[in-house]
Amino acid sequence: MTSADEPGPPADRQPGPGLRADAERNRERILDAARRLYASHGLGVSMACIAREAGVGKATLSRRFAGRAELINAVFADRLDAYAAAVTEALADPDPWHGFVGYVQGLCAMQAADRGFAEVLAMTFPAAKALEKRRDETYDSFLELIARAKATGRLRDDFADQDLIILLMANAGVIAATADAAPDTWRRLVGHMLRAWAAPGADLPPLDQAPAPTALYRAMVRLTRHASGPDAGPAGTSTEEPS
């Protein structure tokens, strides 16, 4: 057990530059470990597993982050910056329909690049107030993008903002199911959804090829194994409820 795990006040509240530096190093180690594990295995990774990956004790993790929601908020702060920047870029596009299509594709690509972020966009975290506030602000900008795209006549009038949430939830599931076997499957899903949302005559990017049958079969086998027993993720992963 490291000295940071000894009883007493938190290391980052004690005097002395050495102790403060140790506290900051531990915090960065925890964040790096959480980013890696969340990206590859999703948000179900336990706090104990993150502590082991970071090489710190559970007491140290608790001192740096009061709970799971606080850790998730810290890990995905930069991802939410990119999320906000994506919709700002889409609104700046002189062609609102092109901006809408590019935004949907880019957002789903962010999900595919980070399984944890895929889940962040498809779930709610009431305890992570800063994360929820930033996400809500970005979503308001998306509502403006919808209105502009509809005004072009190329986005269907019956498209609802909830349709994006449905896509993000579906995309998170596809990414988790096909991650190793057919990692580009999400592109096909997004292409079909854009076609469902487009008004007749709207220009659309080419539809990606369907995954090979053998690749989908491997994904189905993986899902079957997951349903039959513990996930093959790192020791200590769990399906904790968000705090």
Question: What is the CATH code for 77-228?
Answer: 1.10.357
| Contact predicate 188/208, CB 8 Å | yes
DSSP at 184: T
pLDDT of 41 > 60? The answer is: yes
- C-alpha 56/C-alpha 11 separation (Å) is 13
Name the nearest CA neighbour of 10 among 67, 68, 56, 64: 64
Q: How does pLDDT run across 42-74, given as a tens digit for each residue?
A: 888 999 999 999 999 989 998 888 888 889 888
Going by pLDDT thresholds of 50, 70 and 90, the confidence category of residue 36 is: very high
**Is 80 exceeded by the pLDDT of residue 2?**
no
Class of domain 3-74: mainly alpha
Cα–Cα dist 243/46, whole Å = 12
Cα 25 off chain centre by: 25
Indicate where the chain has its CATH 1.10.357.10 domain(s): 3-74
DSSP class of 181: T
Q: Does residue 232 register a pLDDT over 50?
A: no
pLDDT in tens, 132-173: 777 788 888 999 999 999 999 999 999 999 999 999 989 988
Helix (H, G, I), strand (E, B), or coil: what is residue 159?
coil
Q: What is the DSSP letter of 4?
A: G
Task: Give per-residue pLDDT as tens, 177-211.
Answer: 898 889 999 999 999 999 999 999 999 999 999 99
Percent of the chain clearing pLDDT 70 (strictly above): 84
Please give the structure tokens belonging to residue 114: 């980070």
Concatenated DSSP letters for 91-132?
Answer: HHSSSHHHHHHHHHHHHHHHHHH-HHHHHHHHS--TT-HHHH
pLDDT value of position 135: 78
Tokens of 225: 């194994």
Measured in whole angstroms, the distance separating CA 116 from the mean position of its chain's CA atoms is: 4
Q: Judge whether residue 230 has pLDDT over 80.
A: no
**Confidence class of residue 19 from pLDDT cuts 50, 70 and 90?**
low
Here the tokens at position 198 are 């487009």
